[in-house]
Structure 1
Amino acid sequence: MGETTGISAMKYIKSCMENDSDGIRILSDKPRIHSSTVDFQKLKQLPEGTLGYTYFNFLERNNITADSRDMVRFVDDIELAYVIQRYREIHDLVHTILDMPINMLGEVTVKWFEAVQTRLPLCILGGLFGAVRLAPKQRQNYVKYYLPWAIKTGMNSKLLMNVYFEEKWEQPMNNLLNELNISPLIVPKTNRLDLKINTRWKDLN
């Protein structure tokens, strides 16, 4: 569904990448993020607080791998197929960058961020219908904190499809967030209890 309904958005993303120096290099090099292209043991050994170390810990903590993303099957255009493949493969990096857990609230938040940045229909649908499945306390926090932050951050930050993550593993997270113009979400501690629900929602990616 994501592939067959998102051609217009894929063209939009590609055009944005073609207007960015790093985006152009990504489209040309076509880097991939999976176990055969990324040395995850090296990421594990990087200093704490770097992107690579934080990304590795995110995957390990959630018992997931970079190889869990399906290959694109229904997009004939090679360039557009790579665009949607890249989108899928950086999804867990988006979670890492935004410090969003893999639960319903975290996934819906990431979906809205991605929807603003990419215009992909499935992201928009995921944000709309995923919110319906939130528990009452989660929904309160979602409306008050997460949704406004996701939309504002998606609009104001650098397009993450233009980030050559493979060249930034050793970069400190604080430095990277400043570079991307992303400010962390601030939620009162008493309102973060709802993040303990750990429901994976990978089918939308």
Structure 2
Amino acid sequence: MNSLKRMLLRKRVKPFAALLATRKLLKDPDDTRQVFKIIDALSGDVIGRTVKRLSDDATGRELLAKKPNIVDLLNDSERLSAMPPGSIGYTYWQFIHMQNLSADGLIASSEGTKENVGFTADERWTGNRLRDIHDLQHVLTGYGRDPIGELSLLSFMTTQVPNQGINFIIKMGTRKYRQEIPSLDIEALIHEGRSIGQQAAWMPAICWEDRLEESLEDVRTELGFTPPIKYQSSQINQPELFATA
């Protein structure tokens, strides 16, 4: 495939596909596949831009060269559960078991998107990496999987890696909460997620494989992850995620 055609495929935006996925997501908010489809339809060349930023970073270049597969490690429950209590890996293991999740589940939910169409090897790996560290971002930020936690995490994510598909979901979610729970200051929670994303180190350029045994609290401090105070004080939350085990 020539470079021009590959570029066009990467940048293609599919508004009708996004609309169809949005309708399905509104009918079933737990249908994670529709979230991936919306992001796929509207994200344009976000992966290409992310690869460029990785290429400009020393650790990012090393990750692109080695292309580690973090899924194997994140699926290794025996190894994760043996890590020190309070470590990133142990807390991640607690989180996925509490929520009945797996790294493979994210892969299954993303099936049918354009991640392998017109992408270079670096772009395919980067797209997969952004998907595979989603639940690690829950652990590092302290956001739970309740609807407000997910929406706040999306705000963090699109601040770190700007994505019009995610921005669309945030706008849709914000409008929903304005209508259904007007007493909730959803804008403040979205702003908090954005602020945490601005202050924290850039997650895609971190070799998380080498850091899972480190103290979660220490790494949060080192990398600038501030507690989501407004989220923790909201009615729908899981604030224990930001506490040390």
TM-score, normalised relative to structure 1: 0.84
Could you tell me how far 1:131 is from its partner in structure 2?
2.3
Structure 1 position 97 matched with structure 2 position 134 = no
AA of the residue aligned to 2:184: Q
What is the aligned counterpart of 1:58 among 95, 112, 120? 95
Partner AA of 2:225 in structure 1: I
Gaps of 5+ in 1: 197-205
Partner of 1:83: 126
8 Å CA contact 2:174–2:187 kept in 1: the answer is: no
What is the alpha-carbon distance in structure 1 between the residues aligned to residue 100 and residue 129 of structure 2?
21
- State the alpha-carbon separation in 2 of the partners of residues 75 and 6 from structure 1: 14
CA RMSD of aligned residues (A): 2.2
Amino acid at match of 1:140: L
Aligned to 1:42: 79
Equivalent positions of 1:102-181 (< 5 A) are: 102-134=145-177, 135-136=180-181, 140-144=184-188, 146-181=189-224
CA distance in 1, matches of 2:83, 2:66: 25
Kept in 1: contact 2:83–2:90 (CA 8 A): yes
TM-score when normalising by structure 2: 0.71
Q: Distance in 1 between matches of 2:196 and 2:74?
A: 30
- Is this contact kept in 1: 2:80–2:93, CA < 8 A? yes
Instruction: Structure 2 unaligned segments of length 5 or more: list them.
Output: 1-36, 239-245
After the TM superposition, which parts of structure 1 deviate over 6 Å for at least 4 consecutive aligned residues?
Answer: none
